[in-house]
Structures are given as C-alpha cells and as structure tokens.
Chains A and B, each alone.
Chain A
C-alpha cells in the first residue's frame, strides 16, 4: 500500500458505500425508495416529517451536534433534512451521490440512541426516521463495508463474528476448563432442557472476550443458578442486521435466538452485558416478528445482577474500593429503564459511586452504538471527533474523583475505550460483571 494517498476530510474511504453507489441508477433509486416508503412506512413517518416545525430544539439532544461545535449539519433534524426531507420532497428522484451522503449520515452520524426524542417538543422519534433511511440504503446495497461484513456473518453462521459451530462449543469448553481451576465443580451446562435460565451472549464474546463467559459462568455457579447455554446457532443475541436495515435477516436471527431458548424449554433468557442485543430482542426484533413483547421473558445482565443482590444469591468479600462512575447505556436505560437498578447494583458492589452528569435517561451516548463502531476504521476518527462531549463528561467525573468507568454494554465499552484513549482521559473501564467477579465470594469445594 505504498501508493496510498490520504483521503481528504470531506471524502469517505469506504468501499461498501463507494462500490454500492457505483452500481446505482436514478431509476433504481427511485423505485426502491418508493417501494420502501409506500410498502414499509405509513402514517408514522408521514406525521413525523410533517409535524416537525423546524424549531431546532432537538439539537442539544445530540452528542454529534454538541461535539461538532454546534454544526447544524449534525443536529438531529439537520440530519433528517439532509436525508428524508429531500427523499420525500423529490419523491425518490435523488442522485447516487445523494444516496452516498445519506448513507454516511444515517449509518455513521447517528447512533439511534433516541436521546433527541426526549428533546423534541413533539416527541418525534428521529432515530426511527434515520432507520428508514438506513433501510433504503440497505435495499440499494449501499452499506458501510465493515458492518455489512458482520451482517454477512450473521446470515451465514447465525452469529456476528464468523464463529464456526465447533469453535463455539470449543470456546465454551475451554472457558469451563479454565474456570474449573478456580471452582472445581463448575460446569457450563450445554443444551439442558427445562433450565430456569438460558444464557446468551454476543458473537464478540467467544471471539475476543472469552473471559466474560468465564466470569458469567463463575457468577452463575456461585449463585447456584439452574442455567444452560445452547450448543448450536441461536446462542448469539447480537444483531447488526437490525442496524444495517436488513430487517429480514434481523427477523431470522431473532427467530433463531428465541427458538433456541424455547426448544430447550427454558423459563427465561438472561443475556450478557450488551445494549444493542437487548434492543434487538426487546424492542426491534420481537416486534418485527409480530410479538408485542418478547415471547419469552428477557432479562438483561444488569437486571440479573440486581436479582442476585436483592435476593442475596451471591456474597461479596468486600466492596470494590476504587471510586467508580456509571455510564447509562441508551438501549437499556432509554430502552428499558434499568438506570435505578444499575445504581442499586453499583451501590451494592462499590464503595464510592460518583455520578457523571448528565445521567440516567439524559446520559450522552458512547458514540459507538447504533452500529456506528461496527462501520469500522474508515469512520473511526470521525466517530471520536463527534463525541468530544463524552470525553468532557468523563473528565468532569474524573475531576470529582472517579477512577473507574462502569459501562454495562459491549458497544459502550468499545466506544468509551476509544474515547478514553483518544482524549487521554486515563480512566479504567469495566463491566459490572468484571467488578462482581472480582469481589464475590467464590465457593470453595
């Protein structure tokens, strides 16, 4: 790659988008857009677009806008103006170049975190509007390369990370073996019928963060949980197709996941500390499949930990003694209202808890969610420049004494890790599970 030239700031370097756009014709764009608008959307989109009075009050709700020195192009309504307003005004007669820009905006300049919905006086769900733009881009084949790769993996393997069936079981057995050094009788029970708890994780856990499975097994073991994990596809609860706009695949994935649990006659699904996966099973995927609420009770790790402490299922040796702050992930806070439970767990496990501001529903997004981090290196610098405010928020918490940031979400972890490095925040990042594992009493045999 000696002949590579730097890409100018206003250009993008993403082959998924560039090559996708090359294959477009105005006729195809118009046809696909009108198909999506007339077949897949209705009054909701129309009302959202028609009701917006262009007041700009959503702007402050968006961390992109705030971080980008209040550049109006990054305000929530500003992004809709550059995409959906034009699309609807021109009834789909937009150029390939327009689609290219729309894809960059919809996929990489919005985390679909829904914070702006709380700032719009009309409660317009702007994330929904940008999801429709993503849907159009997906149908046109204009999707950032890296996230499309994970979507391909989902469609081929049923998981996000090209983990093969045997590698999955191998990984579980490997983690079980490791953990047995610490807890000799520990098992990671595979395919147990009728267990209380069906535990599912996201693809990156076996791929990059196998120790999280180890920790979860230790916690379940210590709590005496009647639990199981599936040996076959359906174990991955993650869903990048939901974010690319590939809703057909999203439905297939959620079906696999729900069916893996119901086949084993599990009473509930407990899932790891992941936000977007929770969104996919509790908000998007179940609805797409026609379930008003999930067909089987869904328990996020945070709720599960709360249950452990409120029911005294687990004992701790001592509280975690470094001062911590808590990052509220959008998908389980604005998506499920787990913020008070999170605080309860943090207070049960940590000596000193320092709030970052804003917090709870009003917390700033990590900048990684909504599939933005999954769009990969071509957009990494832009992503970090677009979340200066998060760094400032972390610095402020640090100034109040916090040393450790707890982020009970994989995406948030990825996003915050990058921010902490890029801005030199110098704080340590942990999952809640990391802390619980560290301080809990491990049953001696």
Chain B
C-alpha cells in the first residue's frame, strides 16, 4: 500500500473513532467496504450483519452473498467471507466506484424485492445521520 492510501485510512479511522460513539452505533454494525469508496456522496450504509442474517434465515447460506467465481463461473460450495467485496468488484482509478456501488445495490435490492422484505429505496439504506 502506498503512503497516500495509508494516510487516508488512518485519517478515516481517526474520524471514525471520533464519530462512531456520537452515532451511538452498536458494535455489531459495520460500514460496508468503507475503504473502497473514497468519494462519498451518500451517508454510509450501516449494516448489522448478524441481525440481518438471523431475520432473513441466512445463517447457513453465506455463499449467497459471499460467493466465489473462477473464470467467470460460480464455484459451488465455496464462499469468500475472508475477502472484501471490493477485491473483485472494485475498479482501479474510479473514485466513485460506480460498479462496486451497483453491485451492492443489486445484491441487496434484488433480494429484498424478491422476498418482499427489507429496504429498497435509496434513503432507506443510506440513512441520513440525524
């Protein structure tokens, strides 16, 4: 990692350290792939991983999201929890990370629409910090 990225991450961690307590987050909440999005327009999506999967009944089905592809083919019975989504889905030199954002949107929303549950509109996930 070059120094700029390191500095940015450091800067982010510091600011997160200052901000998170004031947002009264639980520890369970995670901000998705924060490092990948350097240019942020909307508030970050705070995602309670365990609660979501409990409600959705997904405890055993990690690969539904954490899938694994090889040569463009889905590898059955393999999952990728140890990787960040951006490792595959992020583009280099794209500060807006349009494709990565689209990947997240599709992953969440398509499922929510299909199951008729969960947030589907922009603001329902990208909640404004009050």
Direct contact of A and B (CB under 8 A): no
Task: List residues of chain B with CB under 8 Å of any chain A CB.
Answer: none
